[in-house]
Chain A
Amino acid sequence: MNCKLCSALFQEFLENSLSEELIVEVQEHIRTCSKCRVSFRTYTVTVTLSRKVDPPCSVSPETLDRLRKVIRENFPKSHGAVV
């Protein structure tokens, strides 16, 4: 495996969508090539940082109550909605 192919496979590697053989080849290349090792690590951590910067949060109960109220008020009654 050469460096160009190796770095092109990072995405699939993280998706877990490579064949067994390719996984081994990528791992072996990364083990022996320091440039691709750094490249792989920085690529991977870039991805994980994006997830950690603003982790998903929950809508506050007050906001959710307001939303439910608005939806109840706007839900079409013509369909025979039961309250």
Chain B
Amino acid sequence: MGKKRDKQTDADLVRDVKQGEPAAMEEIVKRYSNKVYNLAYHLTRDAHAAEEIMQDVFLTVIAKIGTLTTEAYFSTWLYRVTTNAAYGYLRKEKKFSEQTPVEDIDQEQYLEYDWTNLPDDVLLSEESKEVLRKSIDSLPEAMRTVVVLKDVEGLKNEEIAETLGISVPAVKSRLHRGRLILRKLLSEYFSKYTEPSREEE
């Protein structure tokens, strides 16, 4: 009693949960519920599914926390459980979208059209948001997960590597290729805003 839970490290909280202190579990929920929910939502694009996944993830925490040997890795373990649950849901529901076969993106492919000068209401229109969502969803799973963890959720490369059990260079390489594909798809979409002079027949 009387512990300043919000001052405790994750490792402290994990240890206390293992010792059966519900208040430590409360603090973990407070600290991570939004993160788990957002990750589940961004991977499934389904608010209801994300709520269910969040609940399952925290129940898994209670059930399996005893198996977590390195307490400092709690957050990445949690993200891994969440990611697996989200893909499990997508497979079960057969909602996994068609993946575009990845032709290797030419690193030197330069896009002449600078669509970044388009006004914000075009860049962030509902239509272009939908194009970007669909583009992210069309990435191969391994690449998509890294893009979501990094560019949507804002995790650090090291955290992503730990979460997915891959090396930091592998994270960077998947991320870079994923971004190049997204840029290509966005450039194709935004090209409809190019000055008509180019399209003259």
Contacts and interface: CB of A to CB of B under 8 A. Distances in A.
Contacts of A38: 110-114
A56 B187 CA distance: 25
Interface in A28-81: 35-39, 41-47, 49-54, 56-59, 63-64, 66-68, 70-72, 74-76, 78-81
Contacts of A46: 179, 182-183, 186
User: Chain A: interface secondary structure?
Assistant: helix
Nearest to A80: B20
Interface string B156-198: 0100000000000000100110011011001100000000000
Interface in B26-72: 26, 29, 33-34, 37-38, 41-42, 51, 54-55, 58-59, 62
Contact of A81 (B21, B38, B133, B179): B21
A53 B147 CA distance: 13
A26 to B, nearest CB: 15
Interface size of A as a range: 35 or more
B25 A7 contact: no
A42 B147 CA distance: 16
Contacts of A41: 114, 116
A68 B29 contact: yes
Interface of A: 3-4, 7-8, 11, 15, 35-39, 41-47, 49-54, 56-59, 63-64, 66-68, 70-72, 74-76, 78-83
6 contacts: A4-B107, A42-B111, A45-B115, A50-B151, A67-B29, A68-B29
